[in-house]
A and B are shown apart, each in its own frame.
Chain A
């Protein structure tokens, strides 16, 4: 076969190109090019005026040289000259050169613009199109300024040829995208919308892109295009495969135009007009139906074009997210593609399903494909497809399938491509944390992660596991045992040494009772890894050793010997040397008390957004991850059915359910469990009550409402004004509790002398013990400080403590007081009992002083599920099938105080007709019945 030279062949150019191709080396090529450049330069500078053909040929050679990757610094003027030639091919080469090689030489731009102006005014459609192409190709601001006003006129002029309209539409689009301010809106815009009805399919195809862009920027001004687009789409979708002649592509009518119309519709919500909407839904259904029909051609082009429309249709269905039927059909269709023999379709199906997974209507349908997706992870030969499968597993993960998905990801990680390992590690870490019901599973998962892909476990991941172990005392012993076992492996990853060193330093005492993990064995195990580790890890281990000195006095001499050795005390690394010297000294001079104070167990970490998630977002680009998480959050709020679907940050139900989201994404996380730390470290605690509250502000307006909201939940925003936000997280166990108060400075200015004070009235003081530490008196702009309050309920109480805050903001003195929602019911422990037991006890508490009853009007809609959630949130057990009337609710629990425990029974009888409730409380103590009845009545 021969290379064909069509049209205006340029012999000299062809010879030059084949010379270049024959060059054996880069040097020879450069030599040939330099010779040619010298030749062209001399021709351009020569006395003899060049004819158009020669000029064209030389300009074309320069262009070729430039496209080979060499710099061109002359010839621009000759190219500009070609623009004003009357010969089309010369003009064309001139424009091509300008498009590829334009520079911002202002003199030149003026000349170019001049030539363009002439061509636009020439009324010769081919010249006009060349000029429009040049503007679109260059697209600079100067050109925009010169022509942005003319092009709309050309676009809508009645006498413009179709081809000119097409070029004008896309040229305008390019300018509008580059500098929207230059394109004047006006009468033309209304007429542009009507190009959707144009007879010429090419004109519609070009115009839709412009209209879509205009719609995105000014959706309200272009609403009329919705119905036009729908009817155009409907005509295409319902046309036979040959109706559109040359616009039919492999038996698919106008695929490009269909895709563009479907994209245009994605600028808007579903059509409001019922008829239009009906017609559109019909179109979407037709596309879905056609996917099931046998193909009209075996060519891949046919199925690609057909599926391009199908995927765009599915995008629109997902965008609307309002037609459950269509969403599920879309999901089924994609499910078929998951097993298609075309890799491209499998890839796209996985990608598209990711977005479906975040719709509440189709999440469950997506989950049914889990086995196929897992299989894809194992068998796909293309890493980019496997990557999509990982993304989809991540998107479809929820509490029900998390253990399976995490296990599969972990096993995939063993063989995964290096390019995606880190991302998988992050995803596993996030899922394991987010859906951990059982924290031993979480610890196992993360340790596995380190074992399998230690090199890809970033600092964020192992920091996070430590934060979680520190904050959850129920997993600390297990964690210590597990890391101890993992460290036995002869070769373990340095990240494991870090985690192990930290955890044993904090919680090694929890397993020291077992002779197999005695203090000395723990120490020897860690120290055997010491010499293999990098400096930062060694530093961490030295800190572990000094913690051991505190935890296990029996190994003190051994550790002192290690610290005293030359390799530590005289280590060349300053950090290590300093630690060795200081720790050795500390272990020698400090009394046990001081040592215990200095090396006290780490306080819980403040809850905040997981740094892992932040890292994943950074890796994946913000949009993808955020969207997914946001949608999921919304859904999880629905599922939990929180008493008030208030702002997400305040929606947690008080029971520390496993559903609570540890990533700080949605519902606020549960506060760390566990008894308050011993207050043995003296001196540091301040008696908050000794400060006479001189200037306590009256309670902030609205604080009563806020107070009531916290009766059935523990976390949320307690108070907020222009300057300050106060958030709470708390947890109670038996008669003890711990509350974290977060003070957020909403301004950009410092708060000075910031003093929060807790005030218990004389009546309250004997019943409730509050202890806290002072906070830093300066709160930087935008910063948040945290205060921990340890709470002890001595005996039952009625009043609530007051939190009074004083600070100086920009010279003015601010004073805020709010009631702190520490209420008697917080010390409730639920009690499950059978119907018989309940009524037996109910009868025992029949003394009139023991019963308190309240009949009241419902203040909120009487919803059974919400009521149940509130009773559980209140702290009592909700007893099912106890009351003979299923409409009633009964509960039971025990109020724990330091001095006594008080059994409580409650019964709530709703009367829907009257919109009333009757609440009955029976406890062994009148005041308790009274108070609980008050608190609970206010909730309905």
Chain B
């Protein structure tokens, strides 16, 4: 299995996270993101989660206000990719506790770290929720005590997605 890239974007077309597993120029990235967001956002709710796009297969799923979108290669398994998205959402959810879009906006670096523990080079590194979260929490324990975690700045209603 080889994922080319993963994108998280909102219904309004704001990119929240992008992870590229194959060297792509900045210009090309922007073009691909724009084009793909347009295609995916135009699709209706009951439509199928897979589509052919350029020479790739795109697997996407919408959770509340966020679209999770993966581009994979022709031979790759669509359904397992769909569940890979779900597992990532579960990991975010477990870590943040009922994750919402704002968590990902304000803690984008955490979203990247969790993704990195789960996927590497576009391939699944570990599928166990426990192993992945253990790695992340260990990292949190390593933090210095001199910072007091601040309280949330904003809230946005009703974003439970599991």
Interface residues in chain A, defined as those with a beta carbon under 8 Å from any beta carbon in chain B: 1-11, 14-15, 17-18, 21, 53, 60, 63-64, 67, 69, 87-89, 92-93, 96, 126, 129, 132-133, 136-137, 139-140, 163, 166-167, 170-171, 173-174, 177, 201-202, 205-206, 209, 246-247, 249, 254-257, 259-260, 263, 301, 304-305, 307-308, 311-312, 343-344, 346-348, 381-382, 384-385, 387, 621, 623
Q: Are B46 and A7 in contact (CB under 8 A)?
A: no
| CB-nearest residue of chain A to B26 | A71
A-B contact pairs, 20 of them (CB 8 A): A2-B155, A5-B106, A11-B150, A14-B106, A18-B153, A64-B108, A67-B108, A92-B139, A170-B125, A202-B127, A209-B123, A246-B130, A255-B80, A259-B1, A259-B80, A260-B124, A305-B80, A348-B78, A381-B47, A382-B48
Apart from the given pairs A202-B127, A256-B84, A308-B79, 4 other A-B contacts in the complex at a CB distance below 8 Å: A206-B124, A247-B127, A311-B78, A384-B47
Q: Mark B119-130, 1 if CB is under 8 A from A, else 0.
A: 011111111111
| CB-nearest residue of chain B to A621 | B55
CB neighbours (8 Å) of B87 from chain A are: 249
B13-33, CB < 8 A from A: 15, 17-18, 23, 30
Bound together, the chains give a CA A206 to CA B131 distance in angstroms of 13
Most buried by A among B50, B86, B109, B129: B109
Most buried by A among B46, B107, B110, B125: B125
CB neighbours (8 Å) of A96 from chain B are: 109, 112-113
Q: Are B127 and A166 in contact (CB under 8 A)?
A: no
CB neighbours (8 Å) of B152 from chain A are: 2-5
User: How close is A616's CB to chain B, nearest CB, in angstroms?
Assistant: 15
User: How close is B76's CB to chain A, nearest CB, in angstroms?
Assistant: 9
User: How close is A170's CB to chain B, nearest CB, in angstroms?
Assistant: 4
User: How close is A54's CB to chain B, nearest CB, in angstroms?
Assistant: 11
CB neighbours (8 Å) of B135 from chain A are: 126, 129, 163
| CB-nearest residue of chain A to B47 | A382
Partner of A166, one of B55, B83, B126, B155: B126
| CB-nearest residue of chain B to A312 | B77
CB neighbours (8 Å) of B112 from chain A are: 96
Q: Are A347 and B96 in contact (CB under 8 A)?
A: no
Bound together, the chains give a CA A174 to CA B125 distance in angstroms of 12
Bound together, the chains give a CA A247 to CA B86 distance in angstroms of 15
Bound together, the chains give a CA A8 to CA B113 distance in angstroms of 13
| CB-nearest residue of chain B to A260 | B1
User: How close is A174's CB to chain B, nearest CB, in angstroms?
Assistant: 4
Bound together, the chains give a CA A140 to CA B148 distance in angstroms of 38
Given contacts A3-B152, A7-B110, A249-B87, A205 and B125 within 8 Å (CB-CB): yes
Q: Are A9 and B150 in contact (CB under 8 A)?
A: yes
List the 9 closest A-B pairs by CB distance, nearest first.
Answer: A174-B121, A308-B79, A3-B102, A2-B152, A88-B142, A308-B80, A202-B126, A7-B140, A170-B120
| CB-nearest residue of chain A to B100 | A1
Bound together, the chains give a CA A202 to CA B138 distance in angstroms of 18
Bound together, the chains give a CA A304 to CA B85 distance in angstroms of 12
Q: Are A1 and B159 in contact (CB under 8 A)?
A: yes
User: How close is A3's CB to chain B, nearest CB, in angstroms?
Assistant: 4
CB neighbours (8 Å) of A344 from chain B are: 48-50, 78-79, 82
CB neighbours (8 Å) of B125 from chain A are: 166-167, 170, 202, 205-206
| CB-nearest residue of chain B to A60 | B109
CB neighbours (8 Å) of B50 from chain A are: 344, 347-348, 384
User: How close is B161's CB to chain A, nearest CB, in angstroms?
Assistant: 11
Bound together, the chains give a CA A308 to CA B1 distance in angstroms of 13
User: How close is A12's CB to chain B, nearest CB, in angstroms?
Assistant: 10
Bound together, the chains give a CA A18 to CA B153 distance in angstroms of 8
Q: Are A206 and B128 in contact (CB under 8 A)?
A: no
Given contacts A2-B152, A171-B121, A308 and B83 within 8 Å (CB-CB): yes
User: How close is B103's CB to chain A, nearest CB, in angstroms?
Assistant: 5
Q: Are B105 and A21 in contact (CB under 8 A)?
A: yes
Partner of B48, one of A5, A53, A311, A385: A385
B98 interface contact, C-beta 8 A? yes
Given contacts A3-B100, A3-B102, A308-B80, A263 and B149 within 8 Å (CB-CB): no
Bound together, the chains give a CA A14 to CA B150 distance in angstroms of 9
CB neighbours (8 Å) of B80 from chain A are: 255-256, 259, 304-305, 308, 312
Bound together, the chains give a CA A843 to CA B132 distance in angstroms of 93
CB neighbours (8 Å) of A9 from chain B are: 147-150
